[in-house]
Structures are given as structure tokens and as C-alpha cells.
Amino acid sequence: MRKNKLLAAVVVSMAVMMAASACGSKDNTKAGTETETSTEAGSQGTAKGSEEETGTEVSGEESEGEDAEASATEAPKGAPEAGSLDAGVFTSKSGKYQITPPQGWIINEESDENLAVFISPNDSDFLEVTYVEGDDAGDAREVYPDTMEEYKAQISRGEDMEFVRYNVENGSDGSQTFRYAIRYKTPDDGVRYYAISGSYDAAAKKYISAAGTIESEGSDVENQIEAALDSLKLK
């Protein structure tokens, strides 16, 4: 498993772009031979007008900034080399796979098409999509044994490790599809839930997987990860 790599993901900071609107000055200066009192009144009126205009401009900037910030939290952004998001669905840059990450998660700015990492708002949970094709596809994958008992013996992490499921199917040509999930009651490294789903096509030389690593407590984020794994699609 690649949990340690997931936990090392760096959280991307979402930059909020605020558009500034230009505001012209208002000339209230009067020409002629006015009295000193009239001149002072005109100056005060000009100053008041400038303050009102400035206040309106700042208020507009704040409103635009809030809108931009709210928009930034709605969808993963910041890694154009990985792909793009449309209506909640992430499509890799080449269009070779799609996945629907949990709403509000951001994508690590260092992600690319071969390794896209999405991060939860609390920085504690991760969704990693790995895609490799060609001669390197076989080396990128983990070969899973046929049964849960065999695999549990290989990765035993204590008595509190509970397999939620373990499904592995092998093809005659060396291809393999897999999906399993593990829950830890008292994890040493903070990971409470780990789930992965994917496949290796030996003939096409393609490997793809989506894996979720969860530190947060509760079933909500588990359900979000499971839904994301269900949405993984190789095109």
C-alpha cells in the first residue's frame, strides 16, 4: 500500500483573486470670488463625497473576495497538469480516466495525470488516483493474493485490523481487478480507514487505482470515499 505517500501530500493553498474597480474622483471645486465660508463648505462636500466613493469601492471588493473564496472551496483546483473538473467530475488531462472526488476537497498542486491527490478540507483525509500505462504499468501495481486471509497475514498491523471487504479477481493473462477496505480501531499512525479499488490490464498494459486514506472519525467521510471509488472510470 502507498499510505505513507498519501500522508506526505502537501496541502495546496487556494489563492483568491480579487478584482479591483477603478473609481473616478469628483471635482467639486468652484471658480470665482466665493467667500471663505463657501470655499470651506465646498471642500468638506468634496471630502465627504470621496469617503463615500471609497467606502463603496472597498465594499464591492470585499463582496467579490467572499464570492471568489466560496467558489474556491466548491471544487478541486490548482493542478492543470492533472486535469480539470466539470460539474463535480474530475477528468484527467488526456481524458483517459474520470473520478468524482468528495465535494469541497482540493487537489494537491503538484499532482499530475499519473498521480492525482485530493485532500479533505481538514487536511486529514486523502484520495489518491494512480494511472500508469505502458511497460511501467506492471511495476506500478501491487499483486494481491486470492484470499483475504493470505493478504491479512502479509500486512498484519495488530489485532484491531478489520477487513470490511476483500474482492480480487484474476485473469488468465495476468490481469487483475481488486477492491478492499480495512478499518483500524486503534491505529498507531492515525489512519482509521483505508480503501482501494482498481485494475491492471495485462494486454493493454494499463494500471489504475483510487485509494482513500482516512484519519477523521465518523462514517461520513468513509461514505464519501466509497462513493468516489465507485465513480472511478477508465475511458
Q: Residue 64: is its pLDDT beyond 90? A: no
Q: How many CB atoms lie within 10 A of CB 9?
A: 20
Average pLDDT over residues 99-127: 95
164-194: per-residue pLDDT in tens? 999 999 999 999 999 999 998 877 778 999 9
User: Are 161 and 153 a contacting pair, CB within 8 Å?
Assistant: no
Model pTM above 0.75: no
Q: Residue 34: is its pLDDT beyond 50? A: no
Average pLDDT over residues 78-105: 91
Q: How far is CA 31 from the centre of its chain?
A: 61
Average pLDDT over residues 67-95: 71
pLDDT value at residue 48: 44
Q: Which residue has the higher pLDDT, 218 or 151?
A: 151
pLDDT value at residue 120: 97
